[in-house]
């Protein structure tokens, strides 16, 4: 028999939603059983009345409507009951029996109402059974129904096959049926469970254990230009659903996807509101441009390239990640390093309008405070540094220390500066972190959607809003994101279907101008630990009682003044048609247009700030305003035939063949003006100084023919072939087109005869193998064209003017062509006991013909050597995922999912560095290699220095106690770097590797009655890291006594004559002590509690009383705990002086009407 139920239409294709619905039904049933025992005086079926007005719809649509409007749900066998028959229903405040009598009048269908379950069957089938049963004496049968763990199952339908006689199990899972013929068969069915049929025979009692439906057998996965059953996949493809995303209760796509799929590497630059996540699949991709690259996959939103970072996770239906070349080959030149297919939510036919709202409010807090030195510590540190270098602090230094202490202890009465002649000496105590960084900042998310459909059409519309404030106190930073979507599908005729989609995203953002790199080229947060006297003792801004101020360029306040405002909108419009030619053959076509319009305004005002004198500088700099407009337009057209046919039950064929064309063009225009008449009106028209402008344009196009062929024999042997003949405008005419094929195969061992006995234990065991190659067109648009360089004003004067300069064109390669990535992949998929799913893949990706610099030629050539397709590299890795789903006797269900992956990249050939200099790329180099010295310890005495190998080659200078002692690896009594080559590195060696290894994610879900819980851990198992951070090194990194301040972490663990067992060398400017070395190499492995969520769903009986379908509230936390050996002054995800990562605490609500 077939159980029809409805949470949403997608439940029928999504096993996870089915299991969730089962739990919700069980919870609702238990509650109603209790209420019924206490207060019910009449049967539910006798007291419930409904109003239905439906015209020309299928019977199954009427049944769905009844389930939507009540707690009834139907059991029937579609072979016995015609649920596709068209009917019209006009019922007003009628009982269920009155509606069903009219619905099945003169159809031969009879029904039985068992509490809230309604059993439908055929009268003829029932009569045949009754004719037999009348000849036999009935008997009573009792029993108990449990799940596979032995837990009782209330609410199971127990029906005599062929009749409407049946009952529902009670709270303890027991049932009793009287007057049942011995030849009868009982059918046991429950949502999410496999139905069982058991012949009674001579039994009077029976205990039945229902197993859960097989996981994933019928699950459908979105692939290139179509869908496939997950069980039939032969490539490395994984999918996450809206349910997987919803469990994490996060605010953006980067947070949602991180750690869910092995070898999908999601990196968030920092906690800045405008910092977007970046995505990579399976590690290193190329080294074109002179450095290793981890290329970005092709990301398609409903088939169109878009930035997913501005989409709401609540608006996503599913995401498919295509990892290997065999599956992504159909997308051609832009998919050489994988594909991410994002499908947004759609409406469902034959469904009433459904309104959904999700909203949350967050509080965000910086993960760590680096603990900067205060003014007293800094002044003491620079005086100590003088002593450590063999000198003595001056009288001025000692006097300053006294004044600094005085202000530090009496800030309300003491003066923050004193005069030394005509110069100001600042002695204040400023903590830039606390002055500039908020303790907390808010964020909110909202999404409202409506969906539904009739018998031939469906629609879905949504509107979302996200407002995130940054942590900057003096000059606000924020990002406000708006997104809207509208989708509509309709069956115009029985052979023509039209689909339309529109998506619009808009964001407004503001950051302090210093974030754009305008603070002397330094990172804004790094600058806090630089220029100690300016940042720790000098006021951030001019005090109100200062008689004269000057503009100080290298001051922390400079980074807080002015801002960069950005407004960017993206519009995507798509229309598609499906024409059914014959059964199994369709023609599909779609056209999409995407435009991005961005306006940016940079404003840097003049502002008063105190230097070391009350006298203004002769040149105070320039106030500046710059406006930039950028627009890009992209169109894509697809047309293809889709064919599928099953032959003689054992042969399944599927083919796709089509055409694709893409066109991209962009243009930009910028103008800048200086010396504004008024900083209060920052417009170009009021710029009295130099005005400059510029513009740019570019374009590219792709055209290709593609195809895919699938063959499955006897559900055991799977074969797939993909191919694409691609052409791009980025290469010369003679080398623009190339064919890229791929092949994959699979063997479902579990379907073999010799495995039949093990199928209850191992229902699915599949081996996979694939190989394919793809071209990569990710090069400059006009790299094959020799171009002149233009200088608007050269550096000398001719006839009283500075003329325009033109540089000679560089050489270009005559055979510039495709970079090709070929991937070999082996995989295995296993399902055990319908509870445990295991997946493993090993892959080897070789990238050939990488565009790199050629071997150097003599300077008499007169220009640079052209790049050529001469490089190659390989990336080898593996990935593993495991998922366990189970349900305990007490009704608690849970799942545990674990993913783990690893990869390494290595250069196979490279002609640009024949000497193999270790400072550059070279043949045999692994991505992330860290070369450096092996450090022994810290010098304690001059005698030890005298007896040690000579270290004078390292940054020069005099070596003193407190300096680092390096190890003489080549035993030549000199610490040096040799020829700085692989063959002669001197005393350097490979110390470690900065590539993250063994990246993992652990996701645990628990649900019990109306409660749900999710916890998610993410991390990296192995990574070495060398940091150049001021937070880590402080004054040691400085080139002079004022070059840096640093943090308490380093200062209080640095060497002094009294602290000889310290970890850090002497706290003094000494670049020689921070050479890359083993002693200060960081172990950057970490485990981070990314998300924890507690949720509560209002019981269904109570929801209906307040006229809603579902109400869930939840509380969650993000980035709550980090386990790492990295010191707190750094973050293991950032490893630098950057905008800090943020904790967040969220309260949210999800409502369905």
Q: What pLDDT sits at residue 1016?
A: 94
Give the span between the Cα atoms of 990 and 614, in whole angstroms. Answer: 53
Assess whether pLDDT exceeds 60 at residue 215: no
Average pLDDT rounded to a whole number, residues 335-354: 88
Q: 974: which DSSP letter? A: B
Name the most confidently modeled range: 450-459, 937-946, 1024-1033. Answer: 937-946
Q: What pLDDT sits at residue 12?
A: 39
- φ/ψ of residue 561, rounded to 5: -85, 150
DSSP H helices in 40-166: 44-47, 59-69, 96-103, 123-133
Using alpha carbons, list the distances in angstroms from residue 337 to 180, 323, 397, 785, 828. Answer: 64, 7, 59, 26, 21
CB-facing half-sphere around the CA of 603: CA atoms within 13 A = 21
The pLDDT confidence band at residue 139, using thresholds 50, 70 and 90, is: confident
Q: What is the pLDDT of residues 875-887, one digit of tens each?
A: 999 999 999 998 8
Place of tokens 């105590």: 429
Which tops the pLDDT comparison, 619 or 4? 619
State whether residue 95 is helix, strand or coil: strand
Q: What pLDDT sits at residue 134?
A: 45
Tokens of 816: 């510039």
Q: What pLDDT sits at residue 343?
A: 92
Which tops the pLDDT comparison, 853 or 755? 755
Contact by Cβ (8 Å): 1081, 1028:
no
Average pLDDT rounded to a whole number, residues 858-867: 66
Average pLDDT rounded to a whole number, residues 160-179: 79
Which tops the pLDDT comparison, 657 or 540? 657
Average pLDDT rounded to a whole number, residues 146-163: 76
Q: What pLDDT sits at residue 74?
A: 82
Average pLDDT rounded to a whole number, residues 1086-1090: 95
Beta strand segments in 454-584, E: 457-469, 478-491, 496-512, 563-582
State whether residue 767 is helix, strand or coil: strand
Residues 6+ apart with CB under 8 A from 1127: 1032, 1049
The pLDDT confidence band at residue 1132, using thresholds 50, 70 and 90, is: very high
The pLDDT confidence band at residue 523, using thresholds 50, 70 and 90, is: low
Q: How far is CA 897 from the centre of its chain?
A: 17
Of 707, 708, 839, the C-alpha closest to 323 is: 839
Which tops the pLDDT comparison, 651 or 153? 651
The sheet that has 185-189: what strands, in order across it? 166-168, 157-160, 185-189, 196-199
Q: Element (H or E) spanning 1051, and its range?
A: helix 1048-1051
Assess whether pLDDT exceeds 90 at residue 1020: yes
Pairing of strands 988-993, 929-933: antiparallel
What residues pair up with 92 in beta bridges, in sequence order?
Answer: none
Assess whether pLDDT exceeds 50 at residue 17: no
Tokens of 276: 């977007």
Average pLDDT rounded to a whole number, residues 293-313: 90
Q: How far is CA 652 from the centre of its chain?
A: 36
Pairing of strands 339-344, 298-301: parallel
Beta strand segments in 893-943, E: 893-909, 929-933, 935-938
Give the span between the Cα atoms of 899 and 1021, in whole angstroms. Answer: 12
Give the span between the Cα atoms of 1004 and 1090, in whole angstroms. Answer: 12
Give the span between the Cα atoms of 183 and 337, in whole angstroms. Answer: 62
Give the span between the Cα atoms of 109 and 107, in whole angstroms. Answer: 5
Give the span between the Cα atoms of 209 and 169, in whole angstroms. Answer: 13
Using alpha carbons, list the distances in angstroms from residue 349 to 6, 457, 489, 490, 491. Answer: 13, 6, 9, 9, 10
The pLDDT confidence band at residue 607, using thresholds 50, 70 and 90, is: low
Assess whether pLDDT exceeds 90 at residue 199: no
Residues 6+ apart with CB under 8 A from 527: 514, 519, 520, 535, 556, 559
Give the span between the Cα atoms of 860 and 828, in whole angstroms. Answer: 58
Average pLDDT rounded to a whole number, residues 230-244: 88
Q: Element (H or E) spanning 435, and its range?
A: helix 432-436
Assess whether pLDDT exceeds 90 at residue 25: no
Q: What is the pLDDT of residues 659-712, one digit of tens each?
A: 999 999 999 999 999 888 888 888 998 888 888 899 999 999 999 999 999 999
Give the span between the Cα atoms of 100 and 91, in whole angstroms. Answer: 10
Q: What pLDDT sits at residue 132?
A: 47
Average pLDDT rounded to a whole number, residues 49-61: 83
The pLDDT confidence band at residue 23, using thresholds 50, 70 and 90, is: very low
Contact by Cβ (8 Å): 407, 375:
yes
Assess whether pLDDT exceeds 60 at residue 1030: yes
Q: What is the DSSP string of 1098-1122?
A: --HHHHHHTT-SEEEEEEEEEEEEE
Of 518, 482, 476, 697, the C-alpha closest to 604 is: 518
Assess whether pLDDT exceeds 50 at residue 826: yes
CB atoms near residue 902 (< 10 Å): 20
Give the span between the Cα atoms of 366 and 1124, in whole angstroms. Answer: 17
Q: How far is CA 718 from the centre of its chain?
A: 31
The pLDDT confidence band at residue 815, using thresholds 50, 70 and 90, is: confident
Domains recognised in the chain with CATH numbers: 2-210 (2.60.40.1120), 220-347 (2.170.130.10), 375-428 (no CATH)
Of 48, 53, 45, 58, the C-alpha closest to 91 is: 53
Give the span between the Cα atoms of 301 and 347, in whole angstroms. Answer: 17
Q: What pLDDT sits at residue 9?
A: 34
Using alpha carbons, list the distances in angstroms from residue 246 to 300, 317, 487, 539. Answer: 21, 10, 21, 47
- In terms of Cβ atoms closer than 10 Å to its own Cβ (0-12, 13-18, 19+), residue 950 is middle
The pLDDT confidence band at residue 6, using thresholds 50, 70 and 90, is: very low
Assess whether pLDDT exceeds 70 at residue 149: no
How confident is the prediction for the chain on average, in pLDDT?
84
Contact by Cβ (8 Å): 624, 675:
no
Average pLDDT rounded to a whole number, residues 989-997: 95
Q: What pLDDT sits at residue 521?
A: 44
CB atoms near residue 943 (< 10 Å): 10
Give the span between the Cα atoms of 489 and 677, in whole angstroms. Answer: 56
Q: What angle do CA 961, 1037, 561 make, to 5 degrees?
A: 150
Assess whether pLDDT exceeds 80 at residue 1100: no
Using alpha carbons, list the distances in angstroms from residue 409 to 40, 140, 861, 865, 1041. Answer: 75, 91, 68, 64, 25
Contact by Cβ (8 Å): 322, 1116:
no
Rounded to a whole number of angstroms, the CA Rg of the chain reads 35
CB atoms near residue 1040 (< 10 Å): 10
Long-range contacts of 90-96 (CB under 8 A, 24+ apart): 90/52, 90/53, 91/50, 91/51, 91/52, 91/53, 92/51, 93/49, 93/50, 93/51, 94/49, 94/50, 94/51, 95/45, 95/46, 95/48, 95/49, 96/45, 96/48, 96/50, 96/66, 96/70, 96/72
Give the span between the Cα atoms of 164 and 117, in whole angstroms. Answer: 11
The pLDDT confidence band at residue 20, using thresholds 50, 70 and 90, is: very low
Q: What angle do CA 988, 991, 996 make, to 5 degrees?
A: 145
DSSP H helices in 14-116: 15-39, 44-47, 59-69, 96-103
């Amino acid at each position: 028999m077939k159980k029809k139920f409805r949470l949403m239409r997608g439940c029928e294709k999504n096993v996870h939603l089915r299991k969730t619905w089962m739990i919700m039904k069980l919870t609702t049933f238990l509650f109603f059983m209790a209420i019924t025992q206490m207060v019910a005086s009449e049967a539910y079926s006798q007291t419930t009345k409904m109003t239905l007005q439906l015209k020309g719809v299928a019977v199954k649509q009427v049944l769905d409507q009844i389930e939507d409007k009540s707690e009834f749900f139907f059991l029937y066998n579609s072979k016995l009951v015609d649920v596709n028959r068209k009917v019209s229903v006009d019922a007003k405040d009628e009982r269920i029996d009155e509606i069903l009598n009219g619905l099945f009048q003169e159809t031969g269908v009879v029904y039985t109402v068992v509490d809230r379950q309604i059993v439908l069957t055929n009268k003829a089938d029932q009569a045949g059974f009754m004719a037999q049963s009348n000849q036999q004496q009935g008997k009573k049968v009792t029993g108990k129904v449990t799940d596979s763990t032995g837990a009782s199952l209330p609410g199971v339908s127990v029906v005599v096959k062929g009749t409407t006689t049946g009952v529902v199990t009670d709270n303890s899972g027991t049932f009793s049926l009287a007057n049942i013929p011995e030849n009868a068969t009982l059918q046991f069915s429950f949502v999410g469970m496999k139905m069982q049929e058991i012949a009674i025979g001579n039994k009077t009692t029976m205990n039945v254990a229902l197993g859960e439906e097989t996981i994933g057998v019928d699950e459908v996965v979105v692939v290139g230009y179509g869908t496939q059953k997950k069980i039939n996949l032969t490539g490395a493809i994984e999918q996450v659903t809206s349910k997987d995303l919803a469990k994490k209760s996060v605010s953006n796509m980067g947070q949602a996807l991180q750690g869910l799929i092995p070898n999908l590497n999601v990196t968030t630059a920092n906690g800045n509101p405008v910092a977007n996540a970046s995505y990579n699949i399976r590690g290193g991709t190329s080294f074109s441009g002179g450095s290793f690259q981890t290329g970005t996959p092709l990301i398609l939103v409903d088939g169109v390239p878009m930035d997913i970072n501005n989409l709401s996770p609540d608006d996503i239906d599913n995401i498919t990640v295509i990892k290997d070349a065999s599956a992504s080959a159909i997308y051609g030149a832009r998919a050489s390093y994988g594909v991410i297919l994002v499908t947004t939510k759609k409406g469902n036919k034959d469904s009433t309008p459904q309104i959904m709202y999700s909203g949350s409010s967050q509080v965000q807090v910086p993960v760590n405070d680096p603990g900067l030195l205060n003014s007293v510590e800094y002044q003491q540190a620079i005086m100590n540094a003088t002593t450590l270098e063999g000198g003595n602090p001056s009288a001025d230094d000692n006097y300053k220390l006294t004044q600094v202490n005085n202000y530090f202890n009496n800030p309300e009465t003491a003066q923050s500066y004193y005069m030394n002649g005509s110069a100001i000496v600042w002695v204040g105590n400023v903590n830039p972190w606390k002055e500039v960084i908020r303790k907390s900042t808010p964020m909110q998310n909202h999404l409202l959607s409506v969906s539904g459909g009739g018998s031939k059409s469906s629609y879905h519309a949504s509107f979302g809003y996200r407002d995130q404030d940054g942590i900057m106190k003096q000059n606000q930073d924020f990002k406000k994101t708006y997104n809207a979507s509208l989708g509509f599908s309709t069956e115009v005729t029985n052979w023509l279907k039209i689909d339309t989609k529109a998506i619009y995203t808009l964001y407004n953002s503001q950051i302090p101008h210093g974030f754009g790199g305008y603070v002397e080229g330094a990172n804004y947060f790094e600058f806090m630990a630089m220029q100690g006297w300016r940042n720790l003792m000098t006021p951030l801004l001019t005090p109100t009682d200062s008689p004269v101020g000057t503009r100080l360029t290298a001051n922390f306040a400079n980074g807080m003044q002015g801002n960069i405002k950005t407004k960017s909108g993206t519009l995507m419009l798509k229309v598609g048609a499906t024409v059914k030619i014959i059964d199994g053959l369709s023609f599909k076509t779609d056209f999409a247009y995407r435009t991005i319009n961005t306006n940016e305004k940079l404003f840097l005002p003049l502002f008063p700030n105190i230097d070391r004198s009350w006298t203004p500088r002769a040149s105070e700099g320039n106030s500046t305003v710059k406006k930039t407009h950028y627009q890009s337009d992209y169109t894509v057209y697809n047309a293809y035939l889709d064919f599928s046919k099953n032959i003689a039950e054992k042969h399944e064929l599927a083919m796709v063949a089509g055409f694709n064309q893409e066109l991209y063009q962009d243009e930009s225009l910028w103008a800048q003006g200086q010396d504004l008449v008024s900083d209060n009106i920052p417009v170009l028209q009021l710029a009295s100084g130099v005005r400059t402008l510029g513009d740019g344009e570019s374009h590219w196009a792709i055209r290709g023919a593609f195809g895919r062929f699938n063959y499955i024999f006897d559900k055991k042997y799977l074969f797939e072939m993909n191919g694409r003949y691609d052409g791009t405008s980025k290469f010369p005419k003679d080398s623009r087109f190339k064919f890229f094929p791929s092949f994959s195969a699979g063997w479902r061992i579990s379907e073999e005869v010799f495995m039949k006995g093990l199928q209850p234990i191992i229902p699915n065991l599949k081996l996979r193998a694939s190989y394919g190659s793809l071209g990569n067109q990710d090069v400059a648009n006009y790299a094959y064209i020799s171009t002149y360089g233009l200088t608007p004003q050269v550096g000398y004067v001719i006839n009283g003017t500075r003329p325009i300069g033109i540089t000679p064109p560089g050489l270009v390669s005559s055979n510039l062509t495709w970079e090709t990535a070929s991937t070999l992949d082996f995989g295995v998929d296993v399902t055990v006991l319908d509870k445990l799913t295991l997946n493993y893949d090993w892959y080897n990706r070789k990238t050939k013909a990488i565009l790199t610099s050629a071997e150097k030629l003599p300077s008499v050539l007169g220009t640079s050597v052209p790049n050529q397709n001469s490089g190659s590299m390989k990336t080898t890795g593996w990935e593993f995922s495991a998922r366990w789903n189970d349900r305990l006797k007490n009704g608690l269900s849970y799942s545990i999912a674990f993913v783990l992956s690893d990869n390494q990249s290595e250069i196979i050939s490279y002609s640009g560095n024949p000497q193999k200099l270790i400072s550059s790329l070279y043949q045999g180099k692994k991505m992330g290699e860290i070369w450096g010295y092996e450090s022994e310890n810290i010098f304690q005495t001059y005698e030890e220095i005298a007896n040690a190998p000579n270290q004078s080659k390292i940054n020069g200078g005099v070596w003193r106690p407190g300096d680092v002692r390096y190890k003489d690896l080549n035993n030549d009594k000199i610490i040096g770097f040799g020829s700085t080559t692989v063959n002669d590195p001197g005393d350097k060696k490979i110390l470690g590797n900065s590539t993250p290894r063994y990246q993992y994610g652990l996701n645990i879900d628990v649900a019990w009655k109306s409660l749900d819980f999710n916890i998610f851990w993410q991390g990296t198992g192995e990574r070495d890291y060398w940091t150049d951070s001021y937070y880590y090194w402080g004054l040691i990194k400085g080139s002079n006594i004022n070059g840096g301040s640093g943090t308490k972490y380093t200062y209080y663990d640095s060497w002094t004559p009294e602290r000889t067992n310290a970890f850090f060398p002497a706290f003094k400017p000494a670049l020689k002590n921070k050479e890359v070395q083993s002693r200060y190499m960081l172990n950057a492995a970490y485990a981070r509690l990314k998300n924890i969520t507690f949720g509560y769903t209002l019981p269904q009986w109570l929801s209906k009383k307040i006229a809603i379908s579902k109400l869930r509230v939840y509380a969650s936390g993000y980035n709550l705990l980090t386990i790492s050996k990295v010191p707190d002054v750094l973050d293991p995800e950032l490893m630098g002086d950057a905008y800090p990562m943020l904790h967040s605490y969220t309260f949210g609500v999800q409502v369905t009407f």
